[in-house]
């Protein structure tokens, strides 16, 4: 047993790492019982017994391709604060803050909820069709957005077309990395998630290719067993709660600085850039640590940290504090948004269902992204009312705090199930 631990392959759920909350949290690839019917009937399930490369040129090219995909999917949503301000002050100035935020929230919701379709299709072996069709939709949507003049045109082009295309791209780019990495899985997913809105999507199609052969039988769009899996349901509800408030600063921090007289128009625009700059480091460093302390533990810590920062937003009254908040919240946002794909692997015994379960998880998150920022906009109402801003900030902090507590509870439920299984 000690020899196995030294080799970094210990999957014992009761490993001690300082405190009970860290027990059994280190992500490892578990052996699949080759005598089980699933292991002997589907190539995808059989692939769970194969040696995962955990490195090499082909494996790291998957990370590069996934990174580029993030540039044109989540990157656009992370920068929506710039669109929000531009639409409110120029193109769509007759529309309310809440109405405009529906554009970005719809785009984010379709990105996440698209996993209900792209997850099972990925499991069925349609990876390349998803990346090509998603790329076409994103490019088409962005081109059409540049020609829009009315609210409904922007909503359809940027919200729907780009959102659906991003939904076809995002989940497969995350799921495929689990075929190439085990010990370094969280780090690989962190690097994938570090993309920012500065690039395209073409090279991802050239670099990425599936490693696992598709199964010979049809895949269901829902994993019914997941609805009886209490830790998975707890994880999904916690994700919904945390993402209700996660993107409020990305949508409203720039407007907050302008209305409070903290920054000029030119300088306020850089606050969204600072949020994303902090997010880049938050998508890499916490994932590196997660390979040692466990993805679920890091996700809970980062979510609770983000909630504390959100409460601290109430005390921001000057430019220095706003810049500091933007960088720090961006860092914690990066951890919260990048860790779920690696955390859900620990809750999925059969990797042949990973894509489907990821799709179900991101459907929950998609609902949160869809309604979260419009609710914040409805709370805000009057952008010149200090009390309305306090309500918006309190909503952001409270939802993050509930999500963080939920992730702690999920880890405890998972550990309890692992102990019961060993007995």
Model pLDDT for residues 270-295, shown as the tens digit of each residue: 888 888 888 888 888 888 888 888 88
Question: Tokens standing for 125?
Answer: 């072996």
* pLDDT above 80 for 153: yes
Question: Tokens standing for 229?
Answer: 């899996």
What is the pLDDT, as a whole number, of residue 47? 43
pLDDT band of 143, cuts 50, 70, 90: confident
What is the pLDDT, as a whole number, of residue 378? 87
pLDDT band of 119, cuts 50, 70, 90: confident
- Model-level pTM? 0.65
* Span of 26-30, 86-90, 167-171 with lowest mean pLDDT: 26-30
pLDDT band of 5, cuts 50, 70, 90: very low
Q: Does residue 20 lie in a domain region?
A: no
pLDDT band of 37, cuts 50, 70, 90: very low
What is the pLDDT, as a whole number, of residue 199? 39
Q: Does residue 42 lie in a domain region?
A: no
List pLDDT tens digits, range 287-323. 888 888 888 999 999 999 999 999 999 999 899 999 9
pLDDT band of 156, cuts 50, 70, 90: very high
Average pLDDT in the 144-163 region? 89
What CATH number is attached to the domain comprising 90? 1.20.1250.20
pLDDT band of 216, cuts 50, 70, 90: low
Q: Does residue 293 lie in a domain region?
A: yes
> Which range in 130-144, 234-248, 348-362 is most confidently predicted, on average pLDDT?
234-248
Q: Does residue 403 lie in a domain region?
A: yes
* pLDDT above 70 for 207: no
* Span of 30-39, 143-152, 344-353, 373-382 with lowest mean pLDDT: 30-39
Q: Does residue 3 lie in a domain region?
A: no
* pLDDT above 60 for 45: no
Count of structural domains, the chain: 1
Question: Tokens standing for 391?
Answer: 């309500």
* pLDDT above 70 for 261: yes
Question: Tokens standing for 362?
Answer: 């991101």
Query: How confident is the prediction for the chain on average, in pLDDT?
Result: 77
Fill in the DSSP letter of residue 283. T
Q: Does residue 38 lie in a domain region?
A: no
Of all residues in the chain, what percent carry a pLDDT higher than 70? 78
What is the pLDDT, as a whole number, of residue 240? 93
Please, are residues 303 and 336 in contact by the beta-carbon 8 Å criterion?
Answer: yes
Q: Range of 78's domain?
A: 50-212+220-422
DSSP letters along 180-246, please? T-STTHHHHHHHHTT--SS--SHHHHHH----SPPPSSPPPSS-GGGGG-HHHHHHHHHHHHHHHHH
Please, are residues 107 and 159 in contact by the beta-carbon 8 Å criterion?
Answer: yes
Query: How far, in Å, CA of 119 to CA of 339, rounded?
Result: 18
Q: Does residue 338 lie in a domain region?
A: yes
Q: Does residue 95 lie in a domain region?
A: yes
What is the pLDDT, as a whole number, of residue 192? 65
* pLDDT above 70 for 406: yes
Please, are residues 264 and 93 in contact by the beta-carbon 8 Å criterion?
Answer: no
* pLDDT above 70 for 327: yes
Please, are residues 172 and 29 in contact by the beta-carbon 8 Å criterion?
Answer: no
What is the pLDDT, as a whole number, of residue 36? 39
What is the pLDDT, as a whole number, of residue 326? 93
* pLDDT above 60 for 22: no
pLDDT band of 235, cuts 50, 70, 90: very high
What is the pLDDT, as a whole number, of residue 322? 93
Fill in the DSSP letter of residue 346. T
In 208-348, alpha helices (H): 230-246, 248-259, 265-282, 285-293, 295-312, 319-338, 340-345
Q: Apex CA 236: angle with CA 233 and CA 237, to 5°?
A: 85
pLDDT band of 155, cuts 50, 70, 90: very high
* Span of 13-27, 139-153, 177-191, 345-359 with lowest mean pLDDT: 13-27
List pLDDT tens digits, range 340-386. 888 888 887 776 777 788 888 888 888 888 888 889 988 887 767 77
> Which range in 4-13, 126-135, 314-323 is most confidently predicted, on average pLDDT?
314-323
pLDDT band of 218, cuts 50, 70, 90: low
* pLDDT above 60 for 172: yes
Whose tokens are 């919200």? That residue is: 159
What is the pLDDT, as a whole number, of residue 217? 53
């Amino acid at each position: 047993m000690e020899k196995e631990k030294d080799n970094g392959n210990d999957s014992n759920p009761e490993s001690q790492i300082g405190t009970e909350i860290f027990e059994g949290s280190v992500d490892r690839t578990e052996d699949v019982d080759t005598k089980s019917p699933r292991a002997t009937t589907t190539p995808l399930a059989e692939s769970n017994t194969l040696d995962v490369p955990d490195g090499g040129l082909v494996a790291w090219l998957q990370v590069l391709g996934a990174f580029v995909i993030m540039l044109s999917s989540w990157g656009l949503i992370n920068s929506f604060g710039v669109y929000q301000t531009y639409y409110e002050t120029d193109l769509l100035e007759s529309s309310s803050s809440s109405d405009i935020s529906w554009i970005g929230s719809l785009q984010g919701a379709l990105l996440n909820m698209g996993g209900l379709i792209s997850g099972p299709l990925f499991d069925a072996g349609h990876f390349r069709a998803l990346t090509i069709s998603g790329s076409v939709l994103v490019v088409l949507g962005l081109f059409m957005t540049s020609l829009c003049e009315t609210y409904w045109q922007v909503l359809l082009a940027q919200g729907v077309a780009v959102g659906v295309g991003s939904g076809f791209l995002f989940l497969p780019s995350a799921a495929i990395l689990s075929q190439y990495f085990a010990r370094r899985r969280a780090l690989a997913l962190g690097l994938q998630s570090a993309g920012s809105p500065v690039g395209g999507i073409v090279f991802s199609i050239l670099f990425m290719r599936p490693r696992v052969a598709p199964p010979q039988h049809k895949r269901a769009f829902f994993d019914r067993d997941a609805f009886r899996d209490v830790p998975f349901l707890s994880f999904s509800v916690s994700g919904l709660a945390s993402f209700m408030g996660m993107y409020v600063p990305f949508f409203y921090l720039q407007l907050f600085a302008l209305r409070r007289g903290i920054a000029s128009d030119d300088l306020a625009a850089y606050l969204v850039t600072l949020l994303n700059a902090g997010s880049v480091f938050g998508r890499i460093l916490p994932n590196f640590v997660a390979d040692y302390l466990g993805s679920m533990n890091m996700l809970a810590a980062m979510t609770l940290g983000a909630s504390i920062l959100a409460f601290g937003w109430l005390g921001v009254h000057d430019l220095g504090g706003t810049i500091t908040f933007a960088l720090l919240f961006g860092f914690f946002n990066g951890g919260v948004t990048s860790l779920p794909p690696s955390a859900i692997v620990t809750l999925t015994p059969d990797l042949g269902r990973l894509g489907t379960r990821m799709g179900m998880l991101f459907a929950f998150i998609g609902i949160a992204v869809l309604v979260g920022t419009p609710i914040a906009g409805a709370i805000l109402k009057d952008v010149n009312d200090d009390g309305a801003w306090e309500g918006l900030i309190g909503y952001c902090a409270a939802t993050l705090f509930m999500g963080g507590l939920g992730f702690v509870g999920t880890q405890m439920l998972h550990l309890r199930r692992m102990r019961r299984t060993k007995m």
